[in-house]
Amino acid sequence: MRNLLVELFVEELPPKALKKLGEAFAGQLAEQLRALGLANGVSVVTPFASPRRLAAHITHVAAKAADKAVQQKLMPVSVGLDANGLATPALLKKLQALGVDVSDPVFAVAGLRKAVDGKAEALFYDSQVSGATLDVGLQQALDVALTKLPIPKVMSYQLETDCELPGWTSVNFVRPAHGLVALHGDTVVPVKVLGLTAGNSTQGHRFEAAKSPVVLEDADSYAETLRVDGAVIASFAERRADIVQQLKAAAAQVGHGVRAIEDEALLDEVTALVERPHVLVCQFEPQYLDVPQECLILTMKANQKYFPLLDAQGKLTNQFLVVSNINPQDASAVVGGNERVVRPRLADAKFFYDQDRKKTLASRVAGLDKVVYHNKLGTQGERMGRVCDIARAIAELLVSTGAGSDLVTTADTAARLAKTDLLTDMVGEFPELQGIMGAYYALNDGLSLEVAQAIEDHYKPRFAGDDLPRNLTGVVVALADKLETLVGMFGIGNLPTGDKDPFALRRHALGIVRLIIENDLSIDLFSQVIDVSLMFQAFFRARAETAESNLDKALYQMWSSESEVQKTSFGVQKFLEDRLSGYLREKGYSAKEVEAVLAVPDSFSKNVIRKAEAVRAFAALPEAPALAAANKRISNILKKADAAAVADAHVSELLLQEAAEQALYAAMQDITPRAQAQLDAGDYATSLQTLAALRVPVDAFFEDVMVNAEALDLRLNRLGLLKTLHQAMNQVADLSRLAA
pLDDT at 544: 47
| Mean predicted lDDT score pLDDT of the chain | 89
**More confident: 554 or 270:** 270
Please report the domains of the chain, with CATH numbers, ordered by start residue: 2-65+133-230 (3.30.70), 68-129 (no CATH), 236-356 (no CATH), 375-436+447-586 (no CATH), 608-738 (1.10.730)
Helix, coil or strand: residue 559: helix
Alpha carbon distance 406, 397 (integer Å): 13
pLDDT at residue 647 greater than cutoff 80: no
Q: What is the pLDDT of residues 65-92, one digit of tens each?
A: 888 877 888 888 888 888 888 888 888 8
Alpha carbon distance 442, 418 (integer Å): 10
**pTM for the whole structure:** 0.80
pLDDT at 420: 97
627 in Cβ contact with 735 (< 8 Å): yes
Number of H helices, E strands in the chain: 28, 20
pLDDT at 530: 56
Q: Which of 262, 155, 539, 194 is nearest to 379 (CA)?
A: 539
* Three-class HEC string of 96-148: HHCCCCCCCHHHHHHCCEEEEECCEEEEEEEEEECCCEHHHHHHHHHHHHHHC
Percent of the chain's residues with pLDDT above 90: 60
Helix, coil or strand: residue 184: strand
Could you give the C-alpha distances from 675 to 205, 277, 610, 694, in angstroms and in order? 76, 68, 16, 11
Q: Which of 438, 431, 466 is nearest to 453 (CA)?
A: 438
431 contacts: CB under 8 Å, gap ≥ 6: none
Q: Which of 427, 473, 445, 454 is nearest to 361 (CA)?
A: 445
Average pLDDT over residues 101-119: 79
pLDDT at 534: 57
**More confident: 573 or 692:** 692
pLDDT classification of 558: cutoffs 50, 70, 90: low
Spell 7-46 as b/e; 16+ CB within 10 A means b: bbbbeebebebbbebbbbbbebbbbbbbebbbbeeebebb
Instruction: Supply the Cα-derived Rg of the chain in whole angstroms.
Output: 37
Average pLDDT over residues 706-722: 88
661 contacts: CB under 8 Å, gap ≥ 6: 701, 705, 718, 721
Q: Are strands 53-61 and 2-10 parallel, antiparallel or unpaired?
A: antiparallel
Q: Is 282 exposed, middle or buried (0-12, 13-18, 19+ CB in 10 A)?
A: buried
pLDDT at residue 404 greater than cutoff 60: yes
Average pLDDT over residues 42-51: 96
Q: For residue 498, is it left (φ>0), alpha (ψ between -120 and 50) or beta?
A: left
pLDDT at 507: 94
Q: What is the pLDDT of residues 318-366, one digit of tens each?
A: 999 999 999 998 999 999 999 999 999 999 999 999 999 999 999 999 9
**More confident: 616 or 548:** 616
pLDDT classification of 165: cutoffs 50, 70, 90: very low
Alpha carbon distance 303, 717 (integer Å): 78
Alpha carbon distance 72, 111 (integer Å): 13
Alpha carbon distance 728, 676 (integer Å): 8
Alpha carbon distance 538, 542 (integer Å): 6
603 contacts: CB under 8 Å, gap ≥ 6: 577, 580, 597, 611
Main-chain phi, psi angles of 497, to 5 degrees: -135, 125
460 in Cβ contact with 467 (< 8 Å): yes
